[in-house]
Structure 1
């Protein structure tokens, strides 16, 4: 039984996050390169804009905002699952190699599997998921011991090794590629949100609509796993099956996000920690907060990098890393 006061607090935090996301989105719409007056935003959104205003808002800025929010939410949910599975606060899809596996598959797909332009966008999350899943399976197998079962600390260390190896392999892969293709992959590696129209929203949206509710549904399983293997077995849980199912969900969320936004790390690390500090460690309480926090963090990073450092801009992945890397060091020192 959850204390009603805690539920009330969670609802207040979620409402605050919704308002914060709305304000950040409005700032993103207003302060971009071709500046629009704040007085014009509401009329434009209700269909009273000029052709130029409609094009800027509905064809350029709004899709990017939605993509950024969805990707941030997916990365936060993936990070939350991985931290619960490993019982390690340092787990993140970017740190333990899942993003690198997705990136390597995206690079292979982009360089060697030509697909029609219209279909390329929709195949990209599948390619990223395949690469991330193969990487996750290998990491899981290397960290599994017949006597002791799944070893969380070992998974983190092996994941870091895979991340480094795959990043090196990607550099080798693109060293002899065409200049234009190298430019695309370089942008991807930097975490530059390159998918910025409605077709990319449609490519990532089905993954989010299916997987995020599934994460929330699995909240109780994550709570039980957090109590330890002995307790989980005592409650009748098939630990190995549940761990694999949750790992696949985390991989799918991370892969769908990074296929569109590029190699962005640390969102999955920071968002769960912020949520836990606000509402506690019970998954039913902190997961919705973490998901919204992840969306807002990535949207804020993109808004700052794209607009404040205009005209060239700084990739959202770099902006997140500027904040996330010191936060990662802080977590290492306090744990």
Structure 2
């Protein structure tokens, strides 16, 4: 009924020693696996009369630790995806700080760790909202817009920067009117309460008084920005690139989106590219010409997107 295994005592210290601090996710997966096999481990300990097992308080501590690390693991997976961009940085940091600052019943035994993690995140990303790359990418992402800035001063300054970019990108006729797209956003999945994804919904649901757009020059560009920000954000499961590709109402904003939604927020994709190259050129395939290796690598990374675009247009 249960699959059991035995780890020799002389291997325990090796496992703990190899679990480097930078590999915290392996600790999380280990603790989560322990919780999943809690019943099996209890049966195994009773059948073989093990000299030491986890106590009830230790099991509670393991569960509290996994709940504390769960948002970090979920965030890591999201920002390491191929669709992640610079727009995900500020909202993710704000959500993570909200979760760490929120008191929960499962904090027993990990309150100090939680407070230390909050302090470390706040210190590391203290000036992230002041970086134009991240602030402009966030506001131009239709999933977030201007809902995830912690200070009104940062929001107003981002509005001004976006206005300057729109005015610079505006090259169309002021009397030109674009037709709205009739395609609606996909249905949003309901996240588990208290999870990393649910906190996004809580922040978006907060009613905040919209700041008046002072010093707004006349013309079509500011009108685009006002209409764009007045509409509700699209679901997080929707693609912001698809939104700007199909939406024809904001042509000048789309130009800004093409410039700021293209930057990834991590180096994971480039590292995956290096890994893919090592699979193409290996020990038993080391005489490929450079040009052919580049062509194979290009096909491997771009063929799925080409097939997806073909299926969407057909």
Normalized against structure 1, the TM-score is what?
A: 0.29
Higher relative contact order (CA 8 A, sep 6+): 1
Structure ranking higher in helix proportion: 1
